[in-house]
């Protein structure tokens, strides 16, 4: 802890070690020294610096300048002999530890409608106060920012730029700045100078253009703005704004919780705050997922308050409805819930609808499924109601992968075309015969109540106990945070285990048969053994596909491949496979 605030945003790193030299130069030519205290490219040389890349003269030539100075690619400042780093100038941006190429991103962004070709630059950028590096996009629009339709065109262009960035490198730009073409000067080689654009931005040279863009955005928002008309809508708008750190005055009755930035964790907070605000014993999470728009959720809350709600079971949960490409239908894992798919669905905005299928039995009066055939028939009919004609994209996570395979078979038997069958980290065999104890421990692990090691350690000693006694053991081990976030009670957890157990019971005699036309099998790091051994077991799926399945390695483990750390990379891999299948 510092006794006093630092003098600079970036802490001093000191002077170089003995024998090492450092200098700050103009990044454009790589040789012109910058004045004391001015930002530029950091270069170093000395006996501890390597002299070339092995068998790569091209890389060596681009990384070294005359007299042996090495171009680090870092942006730094040397003042009074002491150095501070402030970012990167190399053509990469690092997201979640993964390096992405800026030139590749720019190539895709050049195709966005509204962007003048070859007048776009994506630049690594770290905003003041931000702990991690992001990037900014500068571009010249093809349309006049003073034209009557400029607000609509600008809004559409910026949405498209954001979507491309999220899908390619899993991160939206921190800034998107439209600039007149005469301010986008090119070098003698015909390239835009990223360093010059950043310097002009930092000097405030683009302030007028940024202000104009914000003005147009306000006009575009006002055009689609729907005023809050009921007291319930106003209360929900206040809750939305508080959770998402937005202004209540900007909240429209047509605002969608997920499109505004809501995550799976935020859903739980919305549920808790909504129940408190309306003095309701429960607002089911599934209804929040089905009614993410303020006006729609307000109507559902009003029906709860008046006790006039009685919805029939529908397995389809629409997590994302925008876009024109073939929809994705994702089947729940063995825990039966679909909350795990919320963060994945956000990556499909403006590209394709994303539907999840949720098991039966959560709501009061709903019977459990009793056979796999009953479940598959119900889900297939729901898919057909939602999308009457193919081609279809069906996928499932863990237990849901087997069900997705069966749905794809059923659709093909009806004469429909299934162009994507995604099986996520599950082998081709009958469901493991989980007893109630194993269902309780497995679900508790997925909810963050116990560790994976606890499953193996506790199962033998817990089996002889009564269910009440087993539940007490899990409850005692559970940290308070997830219990509060999920609003779990022993009764709710017991019911959840029973729903999950009913699925295991359905699958206990299941054996795969017949085949589908195409299949993509995604596999993560196994809990035990090597990844090669796990892949060998997964390859049994080849017996149930009329073409050779694709086997795709994904980051993370079975229980973590869709969590916050891994879903950015998983979505890109998953979307690439959809594209590869012609969807």
What CATH code is assigned to 227-308? 1.10.1200.10
Q: Cβ distance 458 to 442 under 8 Å?
A: no
* Per-residue pLDDT band at 3 (split at 50, 70, 90): low
* Active site (catalytic) residues: 398
Closest CA to 313 of 411, 382, 385: 382
CA angle 214, 217, 219 (to 5 degrees): 115
pLDDT at residue 223 is higher than 90 = no
Percent of the chain beyond pLDDT 90?
Answer: 32
- The 10s digit of each residue's pLDDT in 181-216 is 888 877 766 778 777 888 888 888 889 999 999 889
CB 244 within 8 A of CB 262: yes
Q: In terms of CATH, what superfamily is 12-88?
A: Luciferase; Domain 3 (2.30.38.10)
Q: Where are the domains of the chain?
A: 12-88, 92-222, 227-308, 312-430+511-581, 436-507
**For residues 90 and 161, what is the distance between their CA atoms, to the nearest angstrom?**
21
Q: How many CA atoms lie within 13 A of 337 on its CB side?
A: 21
CATH 3.40.50.920 fits 312-430+511-581, yes or no: no
pLDDT band at 132 (very low <50, low <70, confident <90, very high): low
Q: Under CATH, which number does the domain 92-222 receive?
A: 3.30.300.30
Alpha carbon distance, N-terminus to C-terminus of the chain:
53
More confident residue, 123 or 521: 521
Report whether pLDDT(308) > 70.
no
Q: 258-275 pLDDT, tens per residue?
A: 878 787 778 888 988 998
* Fold match flag (12-88 vs 92-222): no
State both tokens at 46. 């000395």
Helix, strand or coil for residue 62?
Answer: helix
Least confident window among 39-48, 180-189, 563-572:
180-189
Contact 458, 451 (CB under 8 A): no
CA-nearest of 238, 107, 93 to 173 is 93
Q: Please state the rounded mean pLDDT for residues 355-371.
A: 88
CB burial class (10 A; 0-12, 13-18, 19+) of residue 503?
A: buried
Q: Show the beta-strand stretches assigned E in 347-413.
A: 354-357, 392-397
pLDDT value of residue 578: 95
- Which ranges in 246-293 belong to alpha helices (H)? 264-277, 285-290
User: Which residue, 372, 272, 275, 280, is CA-closest to 331?
Assistant: 372
Gap between the Cα atoms of 277 and 232, Å rounded: 10
Query: Taking 90 as the threshold, does the pLDDT of residue 225 lie above it?
Result: no
How far apart, in whole angstroms, are the C-alpha atoms of residue 289 and residue 264? 10
* Closest C-alpha among 424, 403, 421, 399 to residue 557: 424
What average pLDDT does this structure show over 380-386?
94
């Amino acid at each position: 802890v510092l006794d006093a605030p630092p003098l600079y945003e970036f802490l001093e790193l000191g002077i170089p070690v003995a024998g090492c030299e450092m200098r700050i130069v103009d990044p454009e030519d790589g040789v012109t020294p910058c004045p004391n205290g001015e930002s530029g490219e950091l270069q170093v040389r000395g006996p501890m610096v390597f002299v070339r890349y092995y068998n790569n003269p091209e890389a060596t030539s681009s990384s070294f300048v005359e007299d042996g100075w090495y171009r680090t690619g870092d942006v730094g400042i040397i003042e009074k002999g002491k150095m501070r780093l402030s970012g990167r100038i190399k053509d990469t941006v690092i997201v979640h530890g993964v390096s992405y190429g800026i030139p590749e991103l720019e190539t895709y962004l050049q195709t966005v409608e509204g962007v003048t070709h070859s007048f776009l630059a994506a630049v690594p950028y770290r905003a003041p106060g931000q702990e991690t590096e992001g990037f900014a996009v500068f571009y010249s629009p093809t349309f006049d920012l003073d034209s009557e339709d400029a607000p609509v065109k600008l809004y559409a262009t910026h949405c498209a730029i954001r979507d491309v960035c999220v899908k390619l490198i899993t991160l939206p730009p921190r800034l998107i700045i439209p600039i007149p073409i005469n301010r986008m000067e090119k070098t003698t080689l015909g390239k835009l100078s990223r360093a010059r654009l950043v310097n002009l931005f930092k000097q405030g040279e683009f302030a007028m253009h940024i202000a104009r863009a914000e003005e147009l955005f306000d006009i575009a928002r006002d055009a689609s703005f729907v005023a809050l008309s009921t007291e319930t809508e106003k209360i929900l708008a206040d809750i939305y704004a508080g959770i998402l750190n937005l202004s209540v005055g900007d909240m429209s009755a047509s605002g969608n919780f997920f499109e505004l930035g809501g995550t799976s964790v935020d859903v739980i907070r919305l549920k808790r705050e909504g129940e408190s605000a309306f003095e309701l014993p429960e607002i089911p999470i599934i209804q929040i997922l089905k009614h993410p728009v303020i006006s729609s959720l307000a109507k559902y809350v009003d029906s709860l308050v008046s006790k006039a709600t009685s919805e029939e079971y529908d397995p389809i949960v629409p997590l994302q409805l925008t876009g024109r490409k073939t929809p994705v239908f994702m089947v729940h894992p063995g825990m039966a819930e679909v909350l795990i798919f919320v963060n994945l669905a956000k990556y499909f905005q403006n590209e394709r609808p994303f539907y999840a299928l949720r098991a039966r039995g959560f709501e009061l009066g709903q019977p459990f499924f009793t056979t796999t055939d009953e479940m598959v028939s119900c889900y297939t009919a729901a898919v057909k109601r939602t999308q009457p004609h193919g081609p279809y994209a069906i996928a499932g996570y863990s237990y849901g992968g087997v069900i997705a395979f069966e749905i794809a078979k059923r659709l093909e038997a009806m004469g429909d075309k299934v162009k994507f069958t995604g099986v996520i980290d599950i082998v081709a065999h009958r469901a493991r015969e989980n007893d109630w104890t194993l269902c309780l421990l497995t679900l508790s692990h997925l909810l963050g109540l116990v560790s994976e090691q606890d499953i193996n350690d506790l199962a033998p000693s817990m089996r002889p106990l009564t269910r009440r006694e087993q539940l007490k053991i899990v409850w005692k081990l559970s940290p308070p945070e997830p219990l509060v976030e999920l609003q779990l009670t022993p009764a709710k957890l017991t019911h959840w285990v029973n729903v999950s157990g009913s699925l295991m019971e359905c699958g206990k005699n299941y054996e795969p048969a017949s085949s589908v036309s195409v299949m993509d099998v995604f596999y993560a790091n196994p809990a035990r053994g090597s990844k090669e051994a796990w892949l060998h077991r997964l390859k049994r799926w080849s017996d149930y596909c009329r073409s050779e399945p694709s086997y795709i390695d994904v980051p993370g483990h079975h229980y973590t491949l869709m969590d916050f750390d891994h879903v950015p990379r998983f979505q890109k891999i998953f979307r690439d496979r959809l594209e590869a299948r012609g969807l």
